[in-house]
Amino acid sequence: MSRLTLLYPLTILIVVSFYVAPIAQIFSQSNSKKIALGKKLFNSDNLSCNACHSIDGQRFVGASMKGLYGSIIPLTDGSNVKADIEFIKESILEPSKKIRAEYPPVMPIYYKNKISPQELEAIVQYIISLK
């Protein structure tokens, strides 16, 4: 066999993996990576969610994010809402829509301009992970 016949399939293999690897990487971006990004954003100087929300159950200006996901939140209008993914997203993007009872409506309204959809997803996954 000549060297060329060996090199040919090898070249194809390299070229194919060059294109396939990054695509596969995007699809397999694991949840733990999202959670890690969410944690970083939550504690970042830019967003500083951690200034008002603890993750260990302590009440700061806002409620703790510990165990938030799936819990029932009483609102100022007397109704209750389940803290599902939709509620968490809405609370971050439009915090004045539903106000939690016994908490001041002081959450900043600018997050919708600061957080990309991917970042929002990461923050939500981080909050869900805080059991």
Among 11, 16, 105, 109, binds ligand HEC (CB under 6 A): 105
Among 39, 91, 119, 128, binds ligand HEC (CB under 6 A): 91
- Per-residue x/- track, 42-81, ligand HEC (CB under 6 A): -----xxx-xxx-------xxx----x----x--------
| CB neighbour class for 59 (10 Å; exposed up to 12, middle 13-18, buried from 19) | exposed
Conformational region of residue 78, where left means phi above 0, alpha means psi within -120 to 50, and beta covers everything else: left
> Does 93 participate in binding ligand HEC (rule CB under 6 A)?
no
CA distance 24 to 4: 30
Among 74, 104, 109, 118, binds ligand HEC (CB under 6 A): 104
CA-wise closest residue to 86 among 114, 41, 124: 124
CB atoms within 10 A of CB 65: 23
- Per-residue x/- track, 6-45, ligand HEC (CB under 6 A): ----------------------------------------
